[in-house]
Structure 1
Amino acid sequence: MRPVIAFIKREAVLIVLLVALIALQAAHPQPWHALAGMIDRETMLTLGGLLVLTKAIEQTGAMNWAAHRLLHRVHSERGLAIVLVLFAAGLSTVLTNDVALFAVIPVAISIQKLVEMSLRRLVSVIALAVNAGSILTPLGNPQNLFLWHASGVSFGAFVWTLTPLTIALMAGLLVLTAMLFKSCALDIPDDAQSAPVDRAALARAATLFVIFVVLADLHHAAIGCAIVLVLIGLTRWRAIVEIDWLLLLVFALMFVVLRSVANLPIVHDACTHANLGEPLHAFFVAAITSQVISNVPAAIMLESFTKTWQALAYGVSVGGFGWCIGSLANLIAMRLAPVKGLFWRFHVVSVPFFVFALVVGAWLTRWI
């Protein structure tokens, strides 16, 4: 019985999604082939490829080396946390929030193995950072890419519109990070030595990483994933065996459950009568809806009900904070760092930040 209870606690999101799927099927039964069709194949293939590549890079010793290099340049907890937050936010503007997590979270895990530092708090602010940083550009996250194409504005016009919200949220996040981490010096053990890096394997994995990201961006994730599985399987097959397979299951269930909720007649009726032509209404509905069905499906569902794409973009951006399913990046962050108590610690930080973002976003929406 104890192993079952431990599994339920460890896989709380998975259990909730399974229960939700059962409830939805009982209330509004759908054929299983229709449910399978709701799973975004490109996203699943991209996530699988990134999991394998990240594990392969980790096994080369590169993350441990990067952690040592960073520790010898930043000498306080607060400074280190701020550097990681800025690095994660910067990467997310060009590599998407999900990819940025795959680059930064393993480094944070390696750092925590070397010094006394709360990994729960560190992962929480990094997750907030990629959500905040990714707001800036159309490349930062899927909802931005969708709204950019739907709006018809130029790349520069989109960035200009989202810049005030990005600056405000990043400023708030930096203040929050400074409050969560002490200014005390890092206690680095004298015997902490960087392990040797398999440079040849790292070069192969890094090259594959770039190729895979380019192919995924061109919507050829299947080809990229096949290349990764073949080449990594021939050289580092353990990277495939040891990835978090349950994360892939969680994402598959997320697509099925959240898209099923979005398709409910009651949800569409509510959107029809929500007066989404008014910017503030569109902002608040987008932010709250994202808390229930995640910000990507919220953007797709609400776009046809409003012409104020700016307010919608602000709303789904803010909706990425708060409850973990607001942004799929939150789930990735928690799965990449499976540390005890992270689920609750994340929400202790994320929910208050969501309230802050909601207030700031509403004020800025008035000036759009």
Structure 2
Amino acid sequence: MAAATHPWLNRLQHEWLLLLFTTLTLVLACVDPQPWEHYRRWLQWPTLCGLLGLLIAIQGIRDSGMVQRFAGMLVARMHSLRGVGLLLVSMTALLSMVLTNDVSLFLMVPLTVAIGGMSNLPILRMAVLEALAVNAGSTLSPIGNPQNLLIWQHAQLPFLHFVAALLPAAAVMFLLVAMLTVAWLPKHRVELYADRLGQQQRSVSLALLSVISLAMMVLMMEHGHAPLGAMLLVVPFALFSWRSLARIDWLLMATFATIFLGLGHFAELPLIDHALGRIDFKQPLALYLGGIASSQLISNVPATVLLLDRAQDALALAVAVNVGGFGVVIGSLANLIALRLAKQPHSMRLFHQVSVPFLLVCAPLVYLVTRLLS
């Protein structure tokens, strides 16, 4: 029994986010017990089910071998690593505008990992860049990420009005990501490793099942039926590709659950409410810094919920919480998704070495540009 559990125990030692937020959840439950209904609300069950459905579909696409085939076709037509990097970063940002930030990452990071597996493209650097790119790209669209959707629906703004208002901020963000991509990636030609090409077995039937499942899951999430969508995906994969289910990152699911519980409870503590009550969010700079700081502490979606009724300028709040997606990994949970999909060692350390300075550069530039154009 000890030998069987040892791999899980060994892996848990590296899951510091899971352990941290499990501890936070338990401590808050002891010092500030709440009714069970509050925990059910904080758990965000539809979001977790949506994440599970996406994980199932993307794992099936990976196991089908079609991502690797497409990656080989793509990289064979590119000449420089910087060119590949800019293409992937641009695709990630564009997809996030229409498919939401997490779906964009579920499509692009596996493709990036496949390209890196057959070439000299640095996978971890690209995963970090794509996490930044998805935050930048999704900023522009009312449906690009959950915080934008909340603000858009709450403020009842026209779609194009929202896009026009967020365009300066999104443009500055993406320009900085593009500049970082060029500066950070090596100035080398793409080198294909011939011995790694064509090794993956391909399954057209599994690819077809997975692509249909992904499309269905996105539609189910958009119409508020994520739990039903996830259940409908589990059955065919259990029957026809149970190995794909076994390979799902279940610890990522557990990490998100503890983050939702811990941060949801923390955001509703009386101490937090009292502290926010002392800030004048009518002042543009106070709202901007407050949105960024709260995003760093409790992630940008809970920060949006927390500040939505306190902020008179909904669009200024949107700029603040989207900028707050940079910085620490929990600033946007899309950051965590990108790093977990890449499955590279020391990913958290490198992410923070890049993302925190990126936030310190990006935040004042975005504020200056948006204030000048407002």
TM-score normalised per structure 1 = 0.95
Q: 2:166 aligns with which of 152, 162, 166?
A: 162
Distance 1:226 1:208 in 2: 11
What is the root-mean-square deviation of aligned Cα atoms in Å? 1.8
Superposed counterparts of 1:103-182, under 5 Å: 103-182=107-186
Q: 1:254 aligns with which of 246, 259, 264?
A: 259
Distance 2:169 2:279 in 1: 24
Partner secondary structure for residue 315 of structure 1: helix
Q: Tell me which residue corresponds to 1:317.
A: 322
- State the Cα distance separating 1:192 from its structure 2 match: 4.3
Distance 1:3 1:201 in 2: 29
Matched to 1:104, the amino acid is M
Distance 2:103 2:251 in 1: 18
Superposed counterparts of 1:273-284, under 5 Å: 273-284=278-289
Superposed counterparts of 1:214-293, under 5 Å: 214-293=219-298
- State the Cα distance separating 1:63 from its structure 2 match: 1.2
Task: Say whether residues 1:49 and 2:69 are aligned partners.
Answer: no
- State the Cα distance separating 1:4 from its structure 2 match: 8.8
- State the Cα distance separating 1:190 from its structure 2 match: 3.4
- State the Cα distance separating 1:178 from its structure 2 match: 0.7
Which deviates more from structure 2 when the two are superposed, residues 194-203 or residues 218-227? Answer: 194-203
Distance 2:201 2:100 in 1: 30
Matched to 2:288, the amino acid is F
- State the Cα distance separating 1:5 from its structure 2 match: 8.7
Q: Deviations over 1:13-63 (max 9, x none)?
A: 111112222332343233556324311111011000000000011111011
For structure 2, the residue ranges without an aligned partner over 5 or more in a row are 1-5
Q: State whether residues 118 and 194 of structure 2, in contact with CA within 8 Å, keep that contact through their aligned partners in structure 1.
A: no
Q: Deviations over 1:250-295 (max 9, x none)?
A: 1111111111111011211122221001222111100110000000
Matched to 2:233, the amino acid is V
- State the Cα distance separating 1:333 from its structure 2 match: 1.1
Distance 2:295 2:50 in 1: 22
- State the Cα distance separating 1:139 from its structure 2 match: 1.0
Matched to 1:151, the amino acid is A
Q: State whether residues 168 and 370 of structure 2, in contact with CA within 8 Å, keep that contact through their aligned partners in structure 1.
A: no
Q: How many residues align?
A: 368
Matched to 2:64, the amino acid is T
Distance 1:297 1:192 in 2: 43
Distance 1:224 1:81, change over 3 A: same
Q: Tell me which residue corresponds to 1:18.
A: 22
Q: State whether residues 81 and 188 of structure 2, in contact with CA within 8 Å, keep that contact through their aligned partners in structure 1.
A: yes
Q: State whether residues 79 and 183 of structure 1, in contact with CA within 8 Å, keep that contact through their aligned partners in structure 2.
A: no
Distance 1:153 1:296 in 2: 19
Q: Tell me which residue corresponds to 1:89.
A: 93
Q: State whether residues 100 and 130 of structure 1, in contact with CA within 8 Å, keep that contact through their aligned partners in structure 2.
A: yes
Which deviates more from structure 2 when the two are superposed, residues 112-121 or residues 96-105? Answer: 112-121
Matched to 2:94, the amino acid is G
Quick one: percent identity of the two aligned structures? 34
Partner secondary structure for residue 79 of structure 2: coil
Which deviates more from structure 2 when the two are superposed, residues 264-273 or residues 41-50? Answer: 264-273
Task: Say whether residues 1:67 and 2:55 are aligned partners.
Answer: no
Distance 1:261 1:158 in 2: 30
Which deviates more from structure 2 when the two are superposed, residues 225-234 or residues 126-135? Answer: 225-234
Matched to 2:271, the amino acid is I
Q: State whether residues 292 and 326 of structure 1, in contact with CA within 8 Å, keep that contact through their aligned partners in structure 2.
A: yes
Which deviates more from structure 2 when the two are superposed, residues 148-157 or residues 333-342? Answer: 333-342
Distance 2:26 2:226 in 1: 30
Matched to 2:97, the amino acid is T
TM-score normalised per structure 2 = 0.94
- State the Cα distance separating 1:200 from its structure 2 match: 2.8
Q: State whether residues 86 and 182 of structure 2, in contact with CA within 8 Å, keep that contact through their aligned partners in structure 1.
A: yes
- State the Cα distance separating 1:183 from its structure 2 match: 1.9
Distance 2:257 2:119 in 1: 36
Q: Deviations over 1:273-320 (max 9, x none)?
A: 210012221111001100000000101110111111111001100000
For structure 1, the residue ranges without an aligned partner over 5 or more in a row are none
Matched to 1:81, the amino acid is G
Q: Tell me which residue corresponds to 1:187.
A: 191
